Structure 1
Amino acid sequence: MDPLNSSHFSSNQSELGSAFTQQVLPPLYLLIFFAGSALNGFAAWIFFRVPSDSGLVVYLKNMVAADLLMLASFPFRPAAQLGLGGWRLHVVICRYSSVLFYSSMYAGVLFMGLISLERYVRIVRPSSCRGPAPLQSVPVARGLALLAWGLLLLCALPNVLLTSRPAADEAAARRCMQLKTPLGVQWHRASTLFSVSLFWATLLVLAFCYSAIAHRIYRSYRRVRRDRSDVCRKSGRSIFSLLAVFLLCFAPYHACRVPYTLSQMPESGFGREARFLLFQLKEGTLFLAALNVCLDPVVYFLMCRTFRESLLRKLERRGGGEETRRQGDEETRRSMTTAQSPSHL
C-alpha cells in the first residue's frame, strides 16, 4: 500500500494539536531562540578567537556551529504554529527547516560522542609516547569533523530534494509525508532509522567512556589518598556535564520517537487517542532536544579550560576598564570639591 494514500496520513497536524503545542510551545521556542542566540553568539565570539590547539577545541567549535545552525531553524516553527506565513511556510518547514533542525541536532550528538572518546583517551588511555593520541590530534579531529558533516549532509540532502511534490492547499502542506515522492518516503524511513541508531550508538559510547573515566578518577583519588570532596565535585562538574546535557536533552525524545514513528505508519493499529498522546510527547521531548542550544555553553565553560580562561580574561578586562573609569570619575569629583573648598579660594 502506498503510504501517501493511507488514511493515517490524511489526519493533519492540526487535528492532533492542543493548547500545549499551539499556545505554550511557540513562545517557549522563541524564548530559547533569543537566549540561545545570545549564549552561542558569545561562545562563538570567544571560541573562534582562540587557536585550535587540541582535538577537544576542534570538536567544541563544531558543536557551536551545529547549535547556530539549529537556532537558524527555530523561528519557522513557532511562526507556523501561530498561523503566520500561511500554508507556504509549512512547505518551507517540511523541505528545509526541519531537515536543518534534525541534521544539526545529530551533528551535536556526533560531536558529543567524539568529545567523550577524546576525554576517555586523555584520562583513561593516556599515550606513553610523545605527542597527542590520534583522537586528540588537531588534524585527525578536523578530519573526523569533516567526515561527520559529510555523512549528515549525505543523509539530509535527499530529504530536501525528494520533498518535491506540489502542495495544492494548506491541508496538503501540513502533511510533510504527502510532499515526498515515493522514493522520498523510503529515504525518510531509512534516514530516521539511521539517525535513531546513531543516537543509541553514541549513548553506548558515552556510557562506556564515562564509566571508565569515573572508575579511573576514583582509583586515582584512592591511591593518592587526598581529601576528595572539593576535587571530586569539580572533576564531576567538568567531566560529566556533557553526559548530563546529553541525557536530559536527547534521551527523552529518542525514547518516544520510535513508537511515534510507528504510529504514523500505514495500518499501525494505533487509535486516535494513542496518536494524540504520542504527538504531545514527541513535541514536548523535541523541545527538550532544542533546549540543548542553551545548555551547551555551560558545557564549554566547564569542560574547556581554553574557553573558560578566555572568557574570564575578557570579563576581567571589561571589569577592570569599568573600575578604572569609576576611579577616574571619583578622583575628578574629589579634585573639583577640593578646588571649591574655602581653604583653596
Structure 2
Amino acid sequence: MQDFLQNATENNSTDCTINHSIHQTLSPTIYIFVFVVGLPANCLSLYYGYLQIRAKNELGIYLCNLTIADLFYIFSLPFWLQYVLQHDNWTYDADLCKICGILLYENIYISVGFLCCISIDRYLAVVHPFRFYQFRTIKAAVVVSIIIWGKEILMSWFFFKKVEISKDAESHTICFEHYPIKNWEHNINYYRFFAGFLFPFFLLLFSYCGILRVVCKSHGTQKKTKIQIKRLVSSTVVIFLVCFGPYHILLVIRSLFEKNCMFAGKIFNIYHFSLLLTSFNCVADPVLYCFSSESTYQNFVKMRDSSLTCLRCLKTKTKVSYQLKTPETLRKSSSVPVDEEPELLNKLHTVNEMKDFSTH
C-alpha cells in the first residue's frame, strides 16, 4: 500500500502545472548579476586568501575554500540561466543536471561550514588569544577543511544516486526538483534546517557575541575600530540570516505541508525567491571577509602600483633595446634607482604579523 501511494505521488508530479513566471523575470537578472560581479570578486578574494596563506595565517585556508565553493557555484550559473530562460526545460545531459544541482545546493552548506570556521577562528583569536593555539594553525585549518569537503562530497554522492529527472505537465524536463516533494526528501530537509542552518547560526551568533563583549570592554581599542568591528559582526549575522534563513524556513514548510500540486504551485514563487537569495552569498563573502579590511585595500593598491611600475619598466626596456648603446645612454640606464622595484614584491613576505580583527 505504501509503495502504491509513493508511486501515485511520483506520478502526480508529472501532472503538476506550475507557474514559472519568476524564472523568466527575476531569476535571469539575479544570475547575470551574481556571475558578472561574483566572478571577479571571488578571483580577487582567492588572491587575498593566497596572501594570507603565505603569511602563515590559517584564515587564508578558510577563505580560499570558501571562495572555491562560491566559484564552483558561479561556474554553474550559465547552465541555470539557459534552463530558466527555456521555461524550466533541461536540454543537457541528465548527469550534468545532477552536477549543477549539487553545486547549487551543496554550495550553501560548504559556505555555511567555512563561515562558521571563520567566526570560530576570530572568536579564539580575540577572546582566547593565548589558549587553543593548536586549533589556529595551518595544519588544523587543512584538517577541518578536508572534513567539511568530505562530508559534503558524501552528501553529494547520495543526491547523485537518488535524484531522478522528472517531467512536468508540459513535458519539460525538470532538473533536480519534484512537485510535490518526494517522501525521502522530508528527512533530508529537516536535517538541512537543523544541522545545516540552525546549529551553524547559533554557533556564529555565540562567536560574534563573545567578540563584541571583549571589544566593548577593551580600553585600548579606539572608538573608530570598535564601530568598524560592530558593523562587520552585525553585517555578517544579517547577511547570513537574509541569504540562508528564508530558504531553510521554506524547506521545513514544504516538508510539513506540501502533499499535493496545489500547495506546490502556491509556494513555488516564494520558495524560488528564497533560493535566489542564497546566490547573493557569493557576492557578500568577498565584500565582508576580504574587501572590508583596510590591509586588504592597501594590498590591492600595492598590487595596482606594482603592475603599473612593471608596465613602465617593460616600456623602458623596449625603448632602450632599440636605442644605440652609447656611453651616455649606458650611464643613464645604469642610474635607474633601485627604489622603482615593485613595492608589492618586497612586502608580500611581510603581511601584518599582528593579526587584527579585520583579518580574523
TM range (shorter): 0.7 to 0.9
- CA shift for structure 1 position 324: 9.4
Q: CA RMSD in A?
A: 3.5
Structural mapping, 1:1-150, within 5 Å: 1=2, 2-6=5-9, 9-12=13-16, 15-18=18-21, 20-48=22-50, 50-52=52-54, 53-83=56-86, 87-89=90-92, 91-92=94-95, 94-128=97-131, 133-150=133-150
**Hey, what does 1:156 align to over in structure 2?**
156
Q: State the 1:74 CA deviation.
A: 1.3
Of 165, 169, 192, which residue of structure 1 is paired with 2:189? 192
- Cα deviation digits, residues 2-33 of structure 1 (max 9, x gap): 43421652344x62322x33222123212211
TM-score computed with the length of structure 1 as normaliser: 0.76
Gaps of 5+ in 1: 326-345
1:284-326 per-residue CA deviation (whole Å, 9 max, x = no partner) reads 111111011111111232566765543232133346668999x
For 2:288 and 2:178, the matched residues in 1 are separated by 40
TM norm structure 2? 0.73
**Separation (CA, whole Å) in 2 of partners of 1:3 and 1:312:** 60
Cα 1:185–1:283, aligned 2, differ >3 Å: closer, same or farther?
closer
Q: Could you tell me which residue of structure 1 aligns to residue 200 of structure 2?
A: 202
How far 1:167 sits from its partner (Å)? 6.9
Supply the AA of the counterpart residue of 1:211: C
Residue 79 of structure 1: how far off its partner (Å) = 0.7
Q: CA deviation at 1:231?
A: 2.2
Paired position in structure 1 for 2:336: none
Q: Which moved more, 1:48-57 or 1:250-259?
A: 48-57
1:300 and 1:307 in contact (8 A); partners too: no
Residue 214 of structure 1 aligns with an amino acid whose one-letter code is L
Identity %: 20
Unmatched runs of 5 consecutive residues or more in structure 2? 315-360
Is it true that 1:301 corresponds to 2:304 in the alignment? no
Kept in 1, the 8 Å contact 2:112–2:200? The answer is yes
Paired residue for 1:289, among 235, 256, 278? 278
- For 1:178 and 1:250, the matched residues in 2 are separated by 21
Alignment partner for residue 217 of structure 1, among 212, 215, 218? 215
User: Helix, strand or coil: the match of 2:111?
Assistant: helix
SS in 2 for 1:134: helix
> For the residues of structure 2 that align with 1:293 and 1:186, how far apart are their CA atoms?
31
Q: CA deviation at 1:243?
A: 2.5
Given the superposition, is the C-alpha separation of residues 61 and 176 from structure 1 closer, same or farther in structure 2, using an over 3 Å criterion?
closer
Alignment partner of 2:91: what SS? helix
Give the aligned residue type for 2:190.
Answer: L
Alpha-carbon distance between aligned partners in 2 of 1:168 and 1:283, rounded to the nearest angstrom: 17
